[in-house]
């Protein structure tokens, strides 16, 4: 039976200074499933991802990974607990080669039970990166940089992958390729949180959906439920 609590947020509140952004955010990610976190611009999706990854400290509430609290943990410790962030905007090291970008992300051997990734495994999933292994990352196309950002996250041997707008600014053909890769990673048993502006793309890929609006969760369900009840999408995302 898959664990229903691969990732759990319980009444999480995050602030930027006095601005109260995440307001009692709670949701669960089930092991091996893709959860799409959808919402309009500025709804709080990136804040939520950064809070889970430990880049922002919640003022209250709890985040746990497979039942273990990561409260107060550093981003490095959170990474070691099995969470990897593919950040918005990719943030690859532009002057380093493709291989160097992957190697710097490598960390100690993963606890047993995890899929363990090395550079050659990444190249099997992303053959285009292998062809460009010696190129500086800054000279890759946007799509290739996105593949590299995903590859770099995989090098930490995660259990849970947080993907913040992985298709932003990419051509439709590359968006489809990113979708194929997300499906492949789910097949390997990874649990995935996918932040997306492309609602239809996200609904096609996701098992579960959470909608956030001005920092509050306003709807949740399976992707199939949301596709059936399009009023929720209309009300909260303006999708027709």
Which residues on neighbouring strands pair with residue 212, listed in sequence order?
217
Q: What is the size of the binding site for ligand ATP (CB under 6 A)?
A: 11
Encode burial over 73-99: b for 16+ CB neighbours within 10 A, e otherwise.
beeeebbbbbbbbbbbebebeeebbbb
Using the structure block, give the residue that is written with the tokens 């051997």.
Answer: 109
The binder of ligand ATP chosen from 8, 28, 46, 156 (CB under 6 A): 46
211 touches ligand ATP (CB under 6 A) = no
Choose one: 44-52, 93-101, 106-114, 226-234; the region binding ligand ATP (CB under 6 A).
44-52
67 touches ligand ATP (CB under 6 A) = no
Comparing CB distances to ligand ATP, the nearer of 98 and 212 is 212
Which residue, among 221, 181, 229, has the nearest Cα to 201 in the 3D structure? 181
Comparing CB distances to ligand ATP, the nearer of 44 and 166 is 44
Which residue, among 197, 228, 190, 191, has the nearest Cα to 211 in the 3D structure? 197
Q: Distance between CA atoms of 79 and 174, rounded to whole angstroms? A: 27
Q: Which of residues 2-41 bind ligand ATP (CB under 6 A)?
A: 16, 19, 21, 39, 41
219 touches ligand ATP (CB under 6 A) = no
Binding site for ligand ATP (CB under 6 A): 16, 19, 21, 39, 41-47
């Amino acid at each position: 039976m898959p664990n229903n609590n691969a990732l759990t947020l319980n009444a999480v509140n995050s602030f930027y200074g006095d601005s109260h952004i995440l307001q009692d955010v709670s949701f669960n990610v089930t092991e091996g499933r893709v959860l799409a976190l959808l919402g309009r611009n500025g709804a709080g999706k990136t804040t939520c991802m950064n809070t889970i990854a430990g880049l922002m400290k919640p003022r209250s509430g709890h985040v746990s990974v497979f039942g273990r609290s990561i409260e107060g943990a550093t981003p490095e410790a959170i990474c070691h607990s099995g969470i990897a962030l593919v950040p918005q905007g990719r943030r690859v090291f532009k002057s380093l080669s493709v291989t160097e970008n992957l190697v710097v992300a490598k960390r100690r051997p993963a606890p047993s039970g995890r899929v363990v990734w090395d550079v050659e495994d990444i190249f099997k999933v992303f053959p285009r990166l292998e062809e460009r292994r010696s190129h500086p990352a800054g000279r890759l196309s946007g799509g290739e940089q996105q593949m590299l950002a995903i590859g770099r996250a995989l090098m930490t041997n995660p259990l849970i992958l947080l993907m913040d707008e992985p298709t932003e600014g990419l051509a439709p053909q590359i968006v489809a390729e990113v979708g194929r890769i997300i499906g492949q990673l789910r097949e390997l048993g990874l649990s995935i949180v996918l932040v997306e502006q492309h609602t239809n793309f996200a609904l096609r890929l996701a098992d579960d959906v959470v909608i956030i609006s001005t920092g509050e969760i306003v709807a949740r369900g399976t992707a199939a439920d949301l596709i059936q009840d399009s009023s929720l999408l209309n009300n909260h995302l303006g999708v027709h």
